[in-house]
Amino acid sequence: MENEKCEEILAGSYREANEVVLKGTSQFMMKSSNGGRIYQIFVYQPKGAEPPEGYPVIYVLDANSVFGTIVEAMRLQSRRPEKTGIVPAVIVGIGYPVEGAFSDARYYDFTLPVDFSELPKRPDGGTWPEHGGAENFLHFIEEDLKPEIMNSIKVNRDRQSLLGHSLGGLFTLYTLFSKPHAFQTYIAGSPSIHWNKKWFHEEENPFLERLKMDNRRISLFVGVGEFEKRHKSGMNENALELSERLRSSVKSGLYVKFKEFEEENHVSVLPPLINKGLRFALSANSPVME
């Protein structure tokens, strides 16, 4: 049958259209135990035998838009880890049951409670969707999603990463500050710190003091696009200031790296951010492995 199909293709008389499916991936719906919110979960698992210590795992926010990008980047580069430095990893994408790349539900999941009067103006002049559910969303990741993943895949609990962009970057920083050892590596792209800048200032010193007492290694990568300097929120300035303050803390056990990607904007920064984030989290000389 396959030979006949090949002959038809060569003769120009055969055409078959099928959806392209990412190899090694699966998806399922999951309901949170504290609020009944519905998420679409995307999972990539490398082929072959699981490492004795388990696979590193990267949890990715806004999976409807970036899951394919990070899976393909990791899959291709991890084929030759001796050359690329990137080892195979499990990718867990957290998205929503929508057709488009984003859902307004992210405004609730990724943000802290704040009065509407303190929020920045929405570009279209409208009202911001419901917000302030970051604590509940982190509970879902820790208490619902992680156990589900660990029950089905052998993962290395000491090499877990969280990657988020924009409001997802805000949530990534919130998780670092509020529950720092939930992950060992944090990758915050273009974080919307301006949504709750006051909270980070208030929590910064208590957070650093807790790290000094814990004596465990955590790494943070913050990346922004050069052209985001034009954003009236002060996106780049806020990210750089926070990175420098955290980096200057003595004996906190926190390794911080900041990068401004040349000639990239708020959206185009995603591919280089993902590539850099993969090396930061998965290479043999990753800060968390030192």
Q: Is 82 a residue of the active site?
A: no
Query: What single letter denotes the amino acid at residue 107?
Result: Y
175: which residues sit within 8 A by CB, 6+ positions away? 138, 162, 182, 183, 186
Among 161, 228, 231, 286, the active-site one is 228
Question: Cα–Cα distance between 150 and 156 in angstroms, integer?
Answer: 9
* 138 in Cβ contact with 78 (< 8 Å): no
Question: Cα–Cα distance between 71 and 131 in angstroms, integer?
Answer: 29
Residue 86 in tokens: 């990137």
Among 166, 190, 252, 286, the active-site one is 166
- Neighbouring C-alpha atoms within 13 Å toward the C-beta of 85: 13
Element (H, E) at 165: strand 155-165
- Neighbouring C-alpha atoms within 13 Å toward the C-beta of 193: 24
Question: Cα–Cα distance between 26 and 119 in angstroms, integer?
Answer: 37
3-class state of residue 114 by DSSP: coil
How does 188-213 read in b/e, with b if 16+ C-beta sit within 10 Å? bbbbbbbbbbebbeeeeeebbeebee
Query: What single letter denotes the amino acid at residue 100?
Result: G
Q: Is 243 a residue of the active site?
A: no
Q: Is 194 a residue of the active site?
A: no
Residue found under tokens 């609990």: 157
* 155 in Cβ contact with 54 (< 8 Å): yes
Among 178, 237, 266, 283, the active-site one is 266
CA-wise closest residue to 54 among 146, 142, 150: 150
Active site residues: 166, 228, 266
